[in-house]
Amino acid sequence: MLTLKCSGANGVERRLAFGRIGFALSLTIFVLAAIVLYHILRDINPRELLRALEATDWRTLLAAGCLVAGGYLTLTFYDLFALRTIGRAELPYRLAALGGFTSYAVGHNIGASVFSGGAVRYRIYSPWGLSVVDVTKICFVAGLTFWLGNVTVLGLGILYTPAAAQAIDQLPLWVNRGFAILMLALLAAYVAWVWVKPRVIGRDDWRLALPGGPLTLVQIAIGIIDLSFCAAAMYMLVPTQPNLGFVTVAVIFVAATLLGFASHAPGGLGVFDAAMLVALYQFNKEELLAGLLLFRLLYYIIPFVLSLMVLGTRELLLGRTARRMAQATATPVPAAAGGFVRGPSEAS
C-alpha cells in the first residue's frame, strides 16, 4: 500500500513538473512575441493602416469569408469523426456540427482550447448521455485529427519550400528540410502502426480504440482540408505584391498558428501576429497588418459572436422546455368523480 501511495505521489509530482515546464515555455513564447511585436509595430502609421483597411476590396473580403466558413464547416467533421470513433454513430450530424462549431469558436478566442472547448462540448453532448470520459475521448480524437493534418501540411510544405520555415526559425535550409523529412517519416510510421492491427490506448474506462489505417487517412484528409481553407483565407488577405505563392504563405501561416497555439494566448494574440509579421517581411507592414486584422475579424470575432448567440439561444430553449415539463408535472388534473387530484408538488 505504501509503495502504491509513493508511486502515485511521484506520478502527481511528475505531472506538476511537466505542467510548470509547459507554462514556462508558453509564457516565454508570449513574452518574446510581445517584444518582437512592439518593435515591429512601434513605427506603424495609423493613417496608412486605416487607408489599407479601406482599400480592401469587398469581393476579397467576401471570398475570404467564404473560405473561413468552409474551414468551420470542416471543423464540424472533426467532431463527427470523433463521435464515430468512440462508438456513438447514432448521434446526428447536426449535433456534431453544433459541438464542433461552438467548441472551436469559443476555444479559439478564450484560449486553453482543450479546457474551454471541452467544457462547451460537455454542455452540448451530456444531454445525449455522453459522460466526461466520452467528451475527453472526443477532444482527444479531434486533437489527433488536428495534429495529423498539421504535420502533413507542414512536412510537405517545408519539404517543398524550406525557405518558408526559415523565415520563422532562421535555421539553415538543410535543417528545415531534414525536419520536414523527420515529420513525414513519423507520420508514415504512425499510419503503418495503426494499419497493421487494431490499436487501443488507455485502460479501464479510458480505453480508446484508435482509428485504423484507412480511417487515419480520412483524419489526415479532414485536417488538410481545414488548414487549406484557413490558409487560403489568409492568402486572400495578404498584399498581392510581392507574390510569394500560396504554399509559402500556407507554411508560414500554419507555423505561426502552431506558435500561437503553444502560447495558449486567446486566439494566439500577439504570437501569431508577430510570427506572420516577421516571416512576411517582404510586404508593406501597414497592408499586412490590415490583412491580419481582417483575418481576425473573419476567423475569430464573427464566429465567436455567432457561437455565443447559438449557445445562448439553445440555453433559453432548454430552460423553457424544462419549465414547461415542471409545470406539466405540477398541474392538477381532474378526478374521475369530480374535484381534482393533487399534483406531486401538492401531495405533501
Whether 331 is covered by a domain: the verdict is: no
Residue in the structure block whose three cell numbers are 504570437: 271
Q: Residue 190's pLDDT band (boundaries 50, 70, 90)? A: very high
Averaged pLDDT for residues 93-105 = 92
Whether 133 is covered by a domain: the verdict is: yes
Whether 11 is covered by a domain: the verdict is: no
Give the pLDDT confidence of 60-88 residue by residue, as tens digits: 999 999 999 999 999 999 999 999 999 99
Whether 235 is covered by a domain: the verdict is: yes
Domain that holds residue 37: 27-321
For β-strands 340-341 and 200-201, DSSP reports them as unpaired
Give the pLDDT confidence of 309-334 residue by residue, as tens digits: 998 888 888 778 777 777 777 655 45
The mean predicted confidence, pLDDT, of the chain is 82
pLDDT of 336: 47
Distances in Å between the alpha carbon of 250 and those of 161, 246, 253, 262?
11, 6, 5, 18
Whether 327 is covered by a domain: the verdict is: no
DSSP structural state of residue 86: T
- Judge whether 270 and 33 are in contact, CB under 8 Å: yes
Whether 206 is covered by a domain: the verdict is: yes
Q: Residue 33's pLDDT band (boundaries 50, 70, 90)? A: low
Whether 336 is covered by a domain: the verdict is: no
C-alpha neighbours within 13 Å on the C-beta side of residue 39: 7
Averaged pLDDT for residues 215-238 = 95
Going by C-alpha positions, the residue among 230, 210, 256, 236 that lies closest to residue 85 is 210
Whether 52 is covered by a domain: the verdict is: yes
pLDDT of 320: 80
What's the number of domains the chain is made of?
1
